Amino acid sequence: MAALITPALVCGVRSHGEHGAIARLLTPDHGLLAGYVRGGRSRALRPVLLPGNSVKAEFRARTEEQLASLTVELEHSRAPLLSEPLPAAAIDWVCALTAAALPEGTPYPALYQALDGVLGAVDAAPAARGWAVALVRYELLLLAELGFGLDLGRCAATGGAQDLVYVSPRSAAAVSRDAAVGYESRLLPLPPFLLEGGAAEWDAILDGLRLTGFFLERSVLTEWKADVLAARDRLVDRLKRAVA
């Protein structure tokens, strides 16, 4: 019986049978993996199998085709954050996105590190503006890792790299201010922090969420995965109300 022991981030959990659960975990070297947790709905394991938690996971399966049995040991709990509306919505969304978007068994080490960073920021930041920028960048990275990356380095119309302030929804490429004249209403705002790094004000963060949300909905969260966007809608709505 093959065994894999690895650190992991809990991304999704659903009930299976009377007492068990199927958990989907993001691992650093093996990507998204699913496993059956015996007693996963028990009082002892429910607090461990919360999206956003960091765990030590052991997967065992007789064949690659068989759903692995999974045991988990809690490394870091984010349960206290789930009683706070904004952090809870952020964790719910970013974990649901990861579980829905990634194919199983494909390594995405950069996404693992980035997701760990986002969850750590939600954990540590005293206010939402401290983690919202990281969340937008995670969405942008996920699009790129799945082959739907945005070209933000040059203007789609002129090829220049100066004064890039919009993104074309058709080409997913940046557009300069001059090239956008007359077409502004058809383009998506490109917030400066996605080009320059650093912190951002709320208007720019919300523009970033609008930008990544458009391409996630169009290219990644299609068909049956579209219901995952409800978690994102809750997050964006709570952010808008918090900064209104």
What pLDDT is recorded for position 87?
96
Least Cα distance to 13 among 30, 31, 37 occurs for: 37
Under a CB-based contact definition with an 8 Å cutoff, are residues 179 and 155 in contact? yes
Fold of 81-243: de novo design (two linked rop proteins) (1.20.1440)
Segment 135-160 mean pLDDT = 97
What pLDDT is recorded for position 243?
86
Under a CB-based contact definition with an 8 Å cutoff, are residues 132 and 205 in contact? yes
For 41-72, the pLDDT digits (tens) are: 899 999 999 999 999 999 998 877 789 999 99
2-77: CATH, from 3.30.70.260, 3.40.50.2000, 2.40.50.140, 3.40.50.1820? 2.40.50.140
Q: What is the rounded distance in angstroms from the CA atom of residue 192 to the CA atom of residue 69?
A: 46
Measured between alpha carbons, how far apart are the two ends of the chain, in Å? 55
Segment 213-230 mean pLDDT = 88
Helix (H, G, I), strand (E, B) or coil at 243: helix
